[in-house]
């Protein structure tokens, strides 16, 4: 029972954090990538503002998002962290091969435009490269 309450409260906290006045959070699901392997997004930030980008990830398939992210103008944006998030729901977490997500945090530095590019690949020699990609256009004002 405690485990169910933990998941319920954790889900509520994530939902409230996403709705509140906190840092922006961009999420791209596996379904989004299955529909279109190349995804594009955009965001505007003020200097000093932080945001989080969450991309579906399933390391049990041998694929992973390349880290660190490729930032076209490091003077405008810095990556401040990256973590892997386990599958959220209890039923999903118990399924072998259930996808989780990789979550990056970034901080806007100075005014300008930059792009952040992510590629989902199997990192070993001969592994599939560029199965999915995500590009985020960022304007710092």
Provide the strand spans (E) within the chain. Answer: 25-28, 38-45, 50-57, 64-65, 70-71, 77-85, 100-108, 112-121, 132-140
Domain extent, residue 126, equals 23-140
- Inform me whether the pLDDT recorded for 91 exceeds 60: no
Instruction: Give the tens place of pLDDT for each residue, 27-46.
Output: 999 999 999 999 999 999 99
Residue 42 lies in a domain: yes
Q: Is residue 45 part of a domain?
A: yes
Asked whether residue 100 is assigned to any structural domain, the reply reads: yes
Give the whole-angstrom CA distance, residue 86 versus residue 104.
14
In a domain, 94, yes or no: yes
Counting the structural domains of the chain, the total is 1
Residue 78, pLDDT above cutoff 70:
yes
Pairing of strands 50-57, 100-108: antiparallel
Predicted TM-score (pTM) of this structure: 0.75
Residue 6 has pLDDT above 90, yes or no: no
CATH number, domain at 67?
2.60.40.2020
11 lies in a domain? no
The whole-angstrom separation of Cα 15 and Cα 129 is 34
> Is residue 111 domain-resident?
yes
Q: Is residue 85 part of a domain?
A: yes
């Amino acid at each position: 029972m405690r485990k169910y309450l933990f998941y319920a409260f954790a889900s509520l906290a994530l939902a409230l954090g996403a709705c509140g006045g906190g840092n922006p959070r961009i999420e791209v699901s596996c379904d989004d990538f299955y529909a279109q392997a190349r995804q594009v997004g955009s965001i505007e930030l003020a200097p000093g503002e932080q945001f989080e980008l969450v991309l579906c990830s399933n390391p049990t398939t041998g694929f992973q998002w390349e880290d660190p992210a490729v930032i076209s103008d490091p003077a405008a944006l810095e990556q401040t962290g990256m973590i892997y998030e386990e599958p959220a729901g209890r039923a999903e977490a118990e399924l072998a091969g259930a996808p989780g997500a990789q979550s990056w945090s970034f901080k806007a530095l100075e005014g300008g435009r930059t792009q952040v590019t992510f590629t989902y690949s199997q990192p070993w020699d001969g592994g599939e490269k560029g199965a999915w990609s995500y590009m985020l256009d960022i304007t710092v004002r």
